[in-house]
């Protein structure tokens, strides 16, 4: 009885969220996978189990290849860009800049904006007109006499998705900065002092003492940015809408479900998005759990 | 933007449900009276038109109250997403807006719509709508919607000043002339043809296809087992490639593309006739340009004598909570009075042949005249000839073509899309 008394209240406290998550996250996730493994290619037919056929046949579609490629470019540019910029900003802050609080707030502000709002503004900034039709950033380049910098931004066929990552970097680098700044502050002064006493230059202190200690922070930032990036939808819809030139899996999923009326295809794409995010998140969770056990 | 609209749509459903519940608890009679009309007419012009029709409806049917369940968003993308989830859950609105033609086929196949033949017979609508229109919206002899308005897809908009500088005397009558004119404009240093985002290129595609193939061959493409692999289609696709090669940098949407023509940066733009309102209306909704001097129009090249139409229509979903109210609304939507109230405000022409011609001025007068005389062809982009899945496949193929310019591959994709979509 006393035993029950020990665990029951706790269980009762968390059970509503367990139930809700079981139904609305894992239940619907399971249902999605189930639909993805049927041949329900319109909204009426009941659909029969076809195993992994949809998962294989989607690779025959040119649009899928393009959207995967776009997603990879976007992810690499966005994650590397946001990490680098965020780290750099944190580094500057850590040097004890005057008015640090003010800067910190300014860099964090973009976080408060939704991707939709960011997208609407950057759509104008990244207008693809050049020469006489230039507006936004291209116009700015023109005023500065830097016309050679004008390009088609997200409409560039090969590197458009890299341009698409710029607003995302703008938005998230402040957040990464906050993470790194906390990390920097967590490195005790004693350690740095010790390294300096051992004859390290300031650069070597960062290279061999601070950076290795930031690894957990970097990893967290990587996971957070990575999963945002793999399922990005709102930013791209706001900047360019449904166009092949900026297609990503989430947009493809939207057209498959609501335009082509093909639930199985939409569910297949959704499954791939979940799996790709899982590739990021699951190892992190395992690593975290192990670390938790060790300590 | 879509996500915002979707969440707004979600809110709307919530409030709509809330309203229904209140009606229920307040007594069955209140719920009986409400007629929920689902549309995506929220912009300037279209919302005014809807309001005018609503006025007539409420005057004629004092027993019913009109409930406006409009969902914002351009061509109805968001509205349709919400609608299909409502229909799947068997909670249809009393009547909803849809593009007349193939776009409704999914709903028809799913058995979500009631045939309106009884209404057509009762109101003798088959006599007042053009026969070809009835043919093109019928599915196995049944009509499922009431067309309220007609828009025209095949319009070539141009800037007379730019044409003059480029040494072009009149709007091109054929696709070959068009291509020659585009070259002249290019030489004169202006953008020959302005385009917007991907869907405007699909719009251009349907016009070049119609202009190159001619009306009968174009219409034949939408029959089951149609031949998309023949040499004429190849020729049309080659034309499309050539025309596209003269296009300027893609703009964000159709308005900035149309604006390039109005501003004299570009010579030509192929867009539906909703562009007229944008060119002509006073500056708070349009560009305030003078028709015939600042901008002018003609049938898009090679399509004179053909009216490529699209139409907004209203339907009767099976299991509509207030069927009588919905039928009363459809009667207003089909009436001469209703259509003449709606269309001058929306900037379209009535589907009926007996409309009051004096209400339609300038472009609309021209359009109305063509509507009663021309052969008809249905639009691809705007849901008349190809069901959604087929249309999406076409649109994907054209989006890919914009990147690789491979005509043979485009044709293959079109053949495959027709095979999958035409069953």
Secondary structure, 3-state, A53-83:
HHHHHHHHCHHHHHHHHHHHHHHHHHHHHHH
CATH class of A64-240: mainly alpha
Structural tokens at position A216: 């957990």
pLDDT category at B73 given cuts 50, 70, 90 is low
Angstrom distances, CA of residue B45 to CA of B53, B55, B297, B327, B331: 12, 15, 21, 25, 22
How far away is chain B from the Cα of A247, in angstroms, using its nearest Cα? 10
Q: Is the pLDDT of residue B33 over 90?
A: no
What is the mean pLDDT of the segment spanning B102-130?
A: 92
The count of other CB atoms within 10 Å of the CB of residue B34 is: 17
Q: Are residues B187 and B132 in the same domain?
A: no
Facing residue for A63 by CB, picked from B391, B400, B402: B400
Higher per-residue confidence, A130 vs B56: B56
Partner A contacted by B404 (CB < 8 A): no
Domain presence at residue B75: yes
Adjacent-strand bridge partners of B68: B37
Residue B24 confidence (pLDDT): 36
Residue B75 confidence (pLDDT): 66
Residue A218 contacts residue A83 (beta carbons within 8 Å): yes
CATH of the domain at B123: 3.40.190.10
Structural Rg of chain A based on CA atoms: 24
> Which residue range(s) make up the domain with B408?
155-308+380-421
Domain presence at residue B349: yes
Give B198's contacts in chain A (Cβ within 8 Å).
241-245
d(CA B103, CA B403): 27
pLDDT category at B332 given cuts 50, 70, 90 is very high
The count of other CB atoms within 10 Å of the CB of residue B288 is: 13
| pLDDT per residue as tens digits for the range B390-421 | 999 999 999 999 999 999 999 999 999 999 88
Domain presence at residue B65: yes
Structural tokens at position B272: 């539906």
**DSSP character string of B158-217:** E-HHHHHHTT--S--SSHHHHHHHHHHHHHTTSEEE---SHHHHHHHHHHHHHHHH-HHH
Residue B5 confidence (pLDDT): 42
B264, B266, B392: best to mutate for the A interface, most A CBs within 10 A = B392
Q: Are residues B52 and B182 in the same domain?
A: no
Q: Are residues B402 and B262 in the same domain?
A: yes
Residue B18 confidence (pLDDT): 37
Partner A contacted by B19 (CB < 8 A): no
Alpha helices in B61-174 (DSSP H): 77-88, 105-109, 117-122, 125-128, 131-137, 160-165
Three-class DSSP category at B248: coil
pLDDT category at B199 given cuts 50, 70, 90 is very high
The H or E element spanning position B330 is helix B323-334
Q: Are residues B230 and B290 in the same domain?
A: yes
**Of chain B residues 179-218, which have a CB less than 8 A from chain A?**
197-198
Domain presence at residue B66: yes
Q: Are residues B352 and B206 in the same domain?
A: no
Residue A130 confidence (pLDDT): 75
Three-class DSSP category at B34: strand
| pLDDT per residue as tens digits for the range B130-166 | 999 999 899 889 999 999 999 999 999 999 999 999 9
Angstrom distances, CA of residue A164 to CA of A87, A158, B197: 21, 12, 16
Partner B contacted by A142 (CB < 8 A): no
d(CA B283, CA B217): 41
Facing residue for A128 by CB, picked from B88, B250, B389: B250
What is the mean pLDDT of the segment spanning B225-247?
A: 96
Angstrom distances, CA of residue B353 to CA of B285, B339, B360: 30, 11, 13
Q: Is the pLDDT of residue B8 over 50?
A: no
Residue A210 confidence (pLDDT): 87
Averaged pLDDT score across all residues of chain B? 88
B112, B198, B402: best to mutate for the A interface, most A CBs within 10 A = B198
Higher per-residue confidence, B252 vs A270: A270
Q: Are residues B356 and B409 in the same domain?
A: no
- Number of Cβ pairs < 8 A linking chain A and chain B: 84
Q: Are residues B178 and B298 in the same domain?
A: yes
**DSSP character string of B217-245:** HHHHTTSTT---SSHHHHHHHHHHHHHHH
Subunit contact B106:A43, Cβ cutoff 8 A: yes
Partner A contacted by B60 (CB < 8 A): no
Q: Is the pLDDT of residue B257 over 70?
A: yes
Q: Are residues B187 and B67 in the same domain?
A: no
Domain presence at residue B221: yes
The H or E element spanning position B52 is helix B46-60
Structural tokens at position B383: 């849901």
Residue B19 confidence (pLDDT): 37
d(CA B211, CA B303): 5
- Give percent above pLDDT 70 in chain B: 91
Q: Are residues B47 and B113 in the same domain?
A: yes
d(CA A259, CA B219): 23
Partner B contacted by A240 (CB < 8 A): yes
d(CA B61, CA B59): 6
pLDDT category at B15 given cuts 50, 70, 90 is very low
Q: Is the pLDDT of residue B423 over 60?
A: no
Residue B1 confidence (pLDDT): 40
As for how many domains chain B has, the answer is 2
CB contact burial B234-265 (16+ within 10 A = b; e otherwise):
eebbebbebbbebbbbbbbebbbbbbbbbbeb
Residue B51 confidence (pLDDT): 93
**Of chain B residues 213-252, which have a CB less than 8 A from chain A?**
248-252
Domain presence at residue B8: no
Three-class DSSP category at B146: strand
**Backbone phi and psi for residue B76, each to the nearest 5 degrees, phi listed first:** 85, 10
Q: Are residues B188 and B328 in the same domain?
A: no
**Which residue ranges does chain A devote to CATH 1.10.3720.10?**
64-240
Domain presence at residue B22: no
Nearest residue on chain B to A151, alpha-carbon basis:
B249
Alpha helices in chain A (DSSP H): 2-21, 28-36, 53-57, 62-94, 100-108, 115-125, 136-143, 160-186, 189-197, 202-204, 211-213, 215-230, 234-240, 249-254, 263-294
Residue B31 confidence (pLDDT): 52
d(CA A239, CA A116): 8
Give the burial class of B402: count Cβ atoms within 10 A of its Cβ; 0-12 exposed, 13-18 middle, 19 or more buried. buried
d(CA A281, CA A226): 9
Higher per-residue confidence, B51 vs A135: B51
Q: Where do we find the tokens 């005397």?
A: B169
Subunit contact A244:B109, Cβ cutoff 8 A: no
Residue B147 contacts residue B261 (beta carbons within 8 Å): no
Residue B23 confidence (pLDDT): 36
How far away is chain A from the Cα of B92, in angstroms, using its nearest Cα? 16
User: What residues in chain A have per-residue pLDDT under 70?
Assistant: 1, 295
Higher per-residue confidence, B180 vs B249: B180
Q: Are residues B302 and B160 in the same domain?
A: yes
Residue A295 confidence (pLDDT): 62
Q: Is the pLDDT of residue B280 over 50?
A: yes
Q: Which of B301, B258, B267, B391 is nearest to B399 (CA)?
A: B391
Which DSSP state fits B355? Answer: -
d(CA B236, CA B213): 7
Q: Using alpha carbons only, give the angle B246, B247, B250 rounded to the nearest 5 degrees.
A: 160
Partner B contacted by A123 (CB < 8 A): yes
Give A247's contacts in chain B (Cβ within 8 Å).
399
How far away is chain B from the Cα of A248, in angstroms, using its nearest Cα? 13
Q: Are residues B177 and B136 in the same domain?
A: no
Domain presence at residue B16: no
Q: Is the pLDDT of residue B62 over 80?
A: yes
| pLDDT per residue as tens digits for the range A223-266 | 999 999 999 999 999 998 889 999 999 999 999 988 888 999 99
Question: Is the torsion defined by CA of A228, A232, A233, A235 positive or negative?
Answer: positive
């Amino acid at each position: 009885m006393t035993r029950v008394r020990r665990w029951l209240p706790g269980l009762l406290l968390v059970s509503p969220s367990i139930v809700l998550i079981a139904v609305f996250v894992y239940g619907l996730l399971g249902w999605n996978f189930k639909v993805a493994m049927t041949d329900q290619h319109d909204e009426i037919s009941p659909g029969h189990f076809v195993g992994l056929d949809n998962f294989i046949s989607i690779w025959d579609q040119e649009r899928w290849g393009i959207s995967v490629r776009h997603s990879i470019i976007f992810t690499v540019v966005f994650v590397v860009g946001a990490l680098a910029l965020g780290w750099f900003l944190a580094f500057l802050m850590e040097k004890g800049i005057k008015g640090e609080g003010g800067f910190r707030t300014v860099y964090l502000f973009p976080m408060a904006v939704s991707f939709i709002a960011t997208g609407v503004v950057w759509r104008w900034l990244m207008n693809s007109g050049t020469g006489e039709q230039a507006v936004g950033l291209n116009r700015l380049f023109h005023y500065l006499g830097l016309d050679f910098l004008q390009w088609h931004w997200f409409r560039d066929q090969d590197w458009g998705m890299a341009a698409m990552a710029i607003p995302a970097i703008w938005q998230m680098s402040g957040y990464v900065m906050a993470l790194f700044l906390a990390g920097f502050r967590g490195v005790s002064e004693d350690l740095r002092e010790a390294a300096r006493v051992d004859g390290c230059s300031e650069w070597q202190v960062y290279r061999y003492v601070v950076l290795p200690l930031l690894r957990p922070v970097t990893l967290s930032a990587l996971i957070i940015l990575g999963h945002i990036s793999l399922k990005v939808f709102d930013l791209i819809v706001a900047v360019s809408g449904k166009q092949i030139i900026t297609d990503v899996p989430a947009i493809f999923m939207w057209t498959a479900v609501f335009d082509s009326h093909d639930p199985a295809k939409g569910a297949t794409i959704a499954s791939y998005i979940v799996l790709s995010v899982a590739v990021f998140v699951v190892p992190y969770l395992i690593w975290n759990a192990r670390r938790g056990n060790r300590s | 933007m879509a996500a915002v609209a979707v969440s707004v749509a979600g809110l709307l459903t919530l409030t709509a449900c809330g309203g229904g519940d209140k009606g229920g608890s307040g007594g069955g009679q209140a719920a009986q009276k409400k007629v929920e009309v689902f549309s995506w007419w929220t912009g300037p012009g279209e919302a005014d038109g809807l309001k005018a029709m609503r006025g007539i409806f409420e005057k004629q049917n004092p027993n019913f109250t009109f409930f406006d369940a409009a969902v914002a968003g351009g061509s109805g993308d968001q509205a349709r997403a919400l609608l299909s989830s409502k229909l799947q859950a068997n909670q249809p609105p009393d009547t909803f807006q849809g593009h007349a033609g193939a776009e409704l086929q999914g709903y028809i196949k799913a058995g979500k719509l009631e045939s309106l033949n009884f209404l057509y017979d009762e109101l003798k609508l088959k006599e007042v709508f053009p026969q070809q229109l009835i043919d093109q919206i019928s599915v196995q002899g049944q009509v499922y919607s009431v067309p309220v308005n007609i828009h025209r897809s095949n319009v070539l908009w141009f800037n007379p000043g730019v044409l003059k500088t480029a040494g072009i005397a009149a709007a091109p009558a054929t696709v070959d002339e068009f291509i020659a004119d585009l070259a002249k404009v290019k030489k004169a240093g202006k953008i020959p043809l302005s385009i917007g985002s991907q869907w405007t290129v699909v719009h251009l595609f349907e016009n070049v296809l119609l202009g190159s193939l001619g009306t009968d061959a174009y219409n034949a493409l939408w029959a089951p087992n149609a031949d998309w692999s023949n040499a004429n289609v190849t020729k049309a696709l080659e034309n499309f490639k050539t025309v596209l090669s003269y296009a300027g940098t893609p703009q964000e949407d159709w308005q900035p593309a149309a604006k390039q023509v109005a501003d004299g940066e570009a010579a030509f733009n192929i867009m539906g006739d909703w562009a007229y309102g944008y060119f002509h209306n006073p500056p708070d909704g349009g560009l305030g340009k003078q028709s015939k001097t600042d901008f002018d129009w003609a049938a898009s090249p090679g399509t004179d004598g053909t009216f490529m139409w699209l139409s907004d229509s209203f339907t009767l979903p099976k299991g509509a909570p207030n069927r009588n109210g919905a039928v009363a609304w459809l009667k207003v939507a089909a009436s001469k009075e209703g259509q003449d109230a709606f269309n001058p405000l929306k900037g379209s022409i009535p589907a009926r042949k007996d409309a009051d011609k004096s209400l339609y001025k300038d472009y609309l007068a021209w359009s109305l005249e063509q509507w009663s005389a021309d052969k008809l062809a249905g639009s691809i982009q705007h849901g008349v000839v190809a069901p959604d899945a087929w249309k999406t496949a076409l649109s994907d193929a054209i989006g890919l073509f914009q990147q690789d310019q491979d005509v043979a591959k485009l044709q293959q994709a079109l053949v495959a899309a027709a095979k999958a979509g035409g069953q």
